[in-house]
Amino acid sequence: MNKVLTSLLSLGVACTAAMAADAAITALKVTDSLDAIKADSAVWSKAKFSSVTLYPQTAIYMNDKKANALAENVKPKAKKVDVAALYDGKNIALMVKWADGTKDIQKGATTTEYGDGFAVQFAGITKLPEALPYIGMGSAGRPVVVHLQKATEKIYEPNGNKDVGLQINRQQTGVFEKDLAEFDNKVASLANTDYERVFVAEGYRSLTEIKDGSVKSSSEMVHASNTWTGTLSRPLKDEYVNLTGTVPVSIAVWDGSKMNRNGIKNLSAWIAVNLDGQKPNAAMIAELTTDPKGNAVKGKEVAAANGCNGCHQIETTDPTSFMAPSLRFVGGYSSAAYLRESIVKPSAVVVPGYNRNAHSNTPWYNLEKGKRVSTMTDYSHLGKAEVDDIVAYLKTLKAEVE
Ligand code: HEC
């Protein structure tokens, strides 16, 4: 490696030390009930806010060139948000505050205007730091529960499917004019802007909405002074999670004016939330708050020697590639354990990539006996120190904070 590169890289490493993983958050125990807590509930005055960094996730592409280009080519930025947590005997509540100068509301009928939104994600049953679910979507046997709240215009979805106002054939207005007006009035009177959803996922393409009421959560979003405040409360324990000690949580926000939706968003890594007064999970806190032990400068050399950037775009100067997900910002939201697993066991979690029909020559996986098998080279032959070094290097790959 030439001198300029080496010194640039050590500079990069020095910077990342300063922007290390987000610290653990403490959820304060309160005696007030957190059932259906709102943004303006008085109990929030007891909460302490911590800064959490949300990184642009670039692994997922959509069939929308413009949105992809906005996410990929326009230098995407990381975003700082403030997070506070509380818990009572029954529920955990989180408040997320983030700056957003444009209040974007999802409009039911239009397809090119997207609403702002936020999500809070909980790792299902895991207590093992090395076996956290894949961030954002969970992984096989390691489910996540995702609470999503979006800013929408008024909608009415009595069957939990689509807004009924959009399910009407409006061609026949001449015949149904009076009935249609009555119908529209009825829908408007029942509609509300509370677009709240809960999902469970165990890997890509497994996202399933929980509609049977088995999760008793409540969330809302309020926009004031160019800032969104999102709140969520949910049970500490239900069919999907059992939150005790140290709880891995992740936060995502969508910015509608940047065409953010679905996979294109800003996402935090797993954050350790300690339930005040309970026994913390020291191994989990260590995994989520300390930098990996490898040598990032060496890791860059090992990655180059092993041809990682033959398939991946890693540095901004590498060409974009259809072969594999971009790793330009992978260090922001991925845990060290996940990165290690990606290298030595590529098929443990398979990022499915582009629409396979559109890019059939460069699939990111093949189906073997119904199982997705990654097309990535298996690097399990690498020594432990080499893998540690690559992981340390990948963890330095983060977008700048806006
Ligand atoms: C032959 C092409 C190829 C090579 C060489 C390759 N990869 Fe990959 N890699 C892929 C593909 C395809 C995926 C997406 C499918 C999957 O998740 O395994 C992937 C996924 C990943 C992911 C997960 C990305 C995410 O967004 O979650 C990481 C991390 C990764 N590779 C690291 C590496 C490292 C480090 C090297 C070099 C030691 C390497 N890869 C070499 C093809 C490759």
Cα separation of 88 and 92, whole Å? 7
Ligand 1, atom 13: closest residue by C-alpha: 324
pLDDT (mean) for 279-283: 95
302 lines ligand 1 (CB under 6 A): no
271, 288, 305 - which closes a domain: 288
pLDDT band at 19 (very low <50, low <70, confident <90, very high): very low
Quick: pLDDT tens for 59-108.
655 566 666 666 665 678 899 999 999 999 899 999 999 999 888 887 76
| Arithmetic mean of pLDDT over the chain | 84
DSSP secondary structure code for residue 166 in this structure: G
Q: What percent of the chain has pLDDT over 90?
A: 50
- Give per-residue pLDDT as tens, 40-52: 999 999 899 999 9
Sign of the alpha-carbon torsion through 251, 255, 256, 258: negative
Distance CA 291, CA 172 (A): 63
Nearest to 128 by CA among 248, 241, 279: 248
Q: What is the pLDDT of residues 156-194, one digit of tens each?
A: 666 666 666 666 677 766 777 788 788 777 777 766 667
Cβ 337 vs Cβ 132: under 8 Å = yes
Tell me if 397 CB under 6 Å of ligand 1. Answer: no
Say if CB 243 and CB 29 are below 8 A apart: no
**Would you say residue 87 lies in a domain?**
yes
Q: Give whichever of 55-64, 167-176, 202-211, 339-348 has the largest mean pLDDT.
A: 339-348
Work out the burial of residue 179: count CB atoms within 10 Å of its CB; fewer than 13 is exposed, 13-18 middle, 19 or more buried: exposed
Rounded to the nearest whole angstrom, what is the distance from the C-alpha of residue 336 to the centroid of ligand 1?
14
Q: How confident is the model at residue 24 (pLDDT cuts 50, 70, 90)?
A: very high
103 and 251 fall within a common domain = yes
Whether 170 is covered by a domain: the verdict is no
pTM, whole model, 2 decimals? 0.85
**How far are the Cα atoms of 25, 49, 90, 115, 246 from residue 277, in angstroms, in the given order?**
13, 18, 15, 38, 11
Those residues with Cβ within 8 angstroms of residue 392's Cβ, 6 or more apart along the chain or in another chain: 291, 292, 293, 294, 295, 296, 299
Helices 3-18 & 296-305 angle (0-180, nearest 10):
130
**Which range scores top for mean pLDDT: 102-111, 116-125, 203-212?**
116-125
Q: How many domains, the chain?
A: 2
Task: Specify the ligand 1 atom closest to the Cα of 323.
Answer: 12
Other CB atoms within 10 A of residue 212 CB? 8
Give the atom of ligand 1 at the shortest distance from the alpha carbon of 351. 17
**Centre of ligand 1 from the C-alpha of residue 84, in Å:** 35
The residue-averaged pLDDT of 190-210 equals 83
Residue 373 has pLDDT above 90, yes or no: yes
- The pLDDT, as a whole number, for residue 257 is 79
Ligand 1 close to Cβ of residue 297 (< 6 A):
no
Assess whether 246 and 377 both reside in one domain. Answer: no
What confidence category does residue 237 fall into, taking pLDDT thresholds of 50, 70 and 90? very high
Tell which atom from ligand 1 comes closest to the C-alpha of 302: 38
Assess whether 196 and 263 both reside in one domain.
yes
CA nearest to 118, candidates 92, 145, 98: 98
User: Are both 113 and 209 inside the same structural domain?
Assistant: yes
Does residue 351 line the site of ligand 1, with CB under 6 A? Answer: yes
Map residue 292 onto helix, strand or coil.
Answer: coil
CA of 197 to the centre of ligand 1 (A): 32
Spatial contact of 273 and 247, defined as CB atoms under 8 Å apart: yes
Closest ligand 1 atom to 375 CA? 12
Residues 217, 278 within the same domain: yes
Closest-lying ligand 1 atom to the alpha carbon of residue 57? 26
For residue 341, the enclosing domain spans 296-395
Higher local confidence (pLDDT), 348 or 170? 348
**C-beta 340 within 6 A of ligand 1:** no
Comparing 134 with 319, the larger pLDDT belongs to: 134
What are the residues whose beta carbons fall under 8 Å from the beta carbon of 7, sequence distance 6 or more?
A: none
Residues 361 and 341: beta-carbon distance below 8 Å: no
> Does 359 share its domain with 270?
no
Q: Residue 250 Cα, ligand 1 centroid: separation in angstroms?
A: 23
Q: 217 CB less than 6 Å from ligand 1?
A: no
User: What pLDDT is stored for residue 12 in this prediction?
Assistant: 42
Q: Is the CB of 330 under 6 A from ligand 1?
A: yes
Give the whole-angstrom CA distance, residue 372 versus residue 204. 11
Question: Do 339 and 222 have their domain in common?
Answer: no
Kindly list the distances between the CA atom of residue 269 and the CA atoms of 136, 315, 391, in Å, as whole numbers in the listed order: 9, 20, 15
**pLDDT of residue 16 exceeding 50:** no
CATH number, domain with residue 321:
2.60.40.420
The answer to whether position 208 is within a domain reads yes
pLDDT at 109: 53
Burial class (CB in 10 A: 0-12, 13-18, 19+), 223: middle
Segments of 57-172 assigned E as strands: 79-87, 91-99, 117-123, 144-155
The SS3 of residue 207 is coil
- Of the given ranges (268-282, 317-331, 338-352), which has the lowest mean pLDDT? 317-331
Task: Report whether pLDDT(259) > 60.
Answer: yes
Answer whether residue 100 is part of any domain: yes
In a domain, 45, yes or no: yes
As a whole number, mean pLDDT of residues 196-211 equals 88
Statement to judge: residues 280 and 316 lie in one domain: no
Tokens of 15: 């910077």
